[in-house]
Amino acid sequence: METNDTGDFKKQKIAVVFTCTIFESLLEGVLWSLLKRKGYSDSKSNSLLNSKMGRRNRIKLFDKEFGSRMEVMMKNFGFATVMQDWDQMANLRNEVVHVGYHHKSNEDPDVIIKRLLSEGIEAIVRIHNEVHK
Task: Give a yes or no: residue 46 inside a domain.
Answer: yes
How much is the pLDDT for 1?
38
Non-local CB neighbours of 33 within 8 Å, separated by 6+ positions: 128, 131, 132
- 26: DSSP letter: H
Within the chain, strands assigned E span none
Task: Give a yes or no: residue 57 inside a domain.
Answer: yes
How much is the pLDDT for 52?
81
Task: Give a yes or no: residue 29 inside a domain.
Answer: yes
Task: Give a yes or no: residue 4 inside a domain.
Answer: no
Task: Give a yes or no: residue 65 inside a domain.
Answer: yes
Task: Give a yes or no: residue 24 inside a domain.
Answer: yes
Domain count, the chain: 1
CA atoms of 47 and 101, how far apart (whole Å) = 33
Q: State the residue range of the domain holding 24.
A: 9-131
CA atoms of 106 and 92, how far apart (whole Å) = 11
Chunked into runs of 10 residues, the chain (133 residues) has average pLDDT values of 56 90 95 96 94 91 96 96 93 83 71 93 96 91
